[in-house]
C-alpha cells in the first residue's frame, strides 16, 4: 500500500550507518527529503545519492534534512557513505518494514533478490505530513530532483 500526499508520514526508527537509531519524529519542525534506493554501490543509486550530496548545501540552506534508506546492512551503508562522502544519514531498513510502509518496495528485484527498496523520493513537511511522493516503477529511472527542490523551497 502506498502513502499519499497530505497524509501523516509513517514514523520509523532505523539504525544509521553510524549504528545510531534515527527516527523520522526526530526531525519534527523541519522538512525532510527521504530517498529510498535499491542497493548501495550500484550505478543509478550512486547517481541518485550523489545528486543529493552535490545539492546538499541547497537543502541545508533551507533548513531541510536529507535521509537515504535502503535494505542494505548498516555496515554496507557505512562503506557506501564513506566512499561517496555523503553528508546525510544512510539508514538500514534491513527488515524491510519502512520500505513497505511507504509503498517503496519490490517483492522481487533483479537476480532473483526478494524484498528490495524501490527507488523513491518523499518530502515531509514540518508537521510530518507528506507533501511530495514519487515511487518509480523502473529502478533505472531517477527521481524528479527539480520537483523535489521546488516543493522543499515552498
Cell of 44: 543509478
Active site residue 50: no
CA distance 23 to 141: 28
For residue 140, CA distances in Å to 47, 48, 114, 151 come to 11, 10, 17, 23
Distance of CA 140 to the CA centre of its chain: 16
CA distance 93 to 95: 5
Q: Which of 22, 40, 45, 116 does the annotation list as catalytic?
A: 45
Active site residues: 45
Amino acid at each position: 500500500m502506498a502513502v499519499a500526499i497530505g497524509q501523516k508520514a509513517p514514523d520509523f526508527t532505523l539504525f544509521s550507518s553510524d549504528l545510531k537509531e534515527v527516527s523520522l519524529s526526530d526531525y519534527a519542525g523541519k522538512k525532510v527529503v527521504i530517498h529510498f534506493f535499491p542497493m548501495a554501490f550500484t550505478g543509478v543509486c550512486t547517481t541518485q545519492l550523489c545528486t543529493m550530496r552535490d545539492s546538499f548545501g541547497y537543502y541545508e540552506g533551507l533548513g531541510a534534512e536529507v535521509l537515504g534508506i535502503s535494505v542494505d546492512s548498516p555496515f554496507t551503508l557505512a562503506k557506501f557513505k564513506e566512499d561517496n562522502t555523503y553528508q546525510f544519514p544512510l539508514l538500514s531498513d534491513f527488515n524491510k518494514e519502512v520500505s513497505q510502509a511507504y509503498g517503496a518496495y519490490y517483492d522481487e528485484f533483479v537476480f532473483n533478490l526478494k524484498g528490495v527498496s524501490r527507488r523513491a523520493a518523499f518530502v515531509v513537511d514540518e508537521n510530518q505530513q507528506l507533501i511530495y511522493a514519487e515511487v518509480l516503477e523502473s529502478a533505472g529511472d531517477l527521481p524528479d530532483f527539480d520537483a523535489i527542490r521546488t516543493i522543499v523551497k515552498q
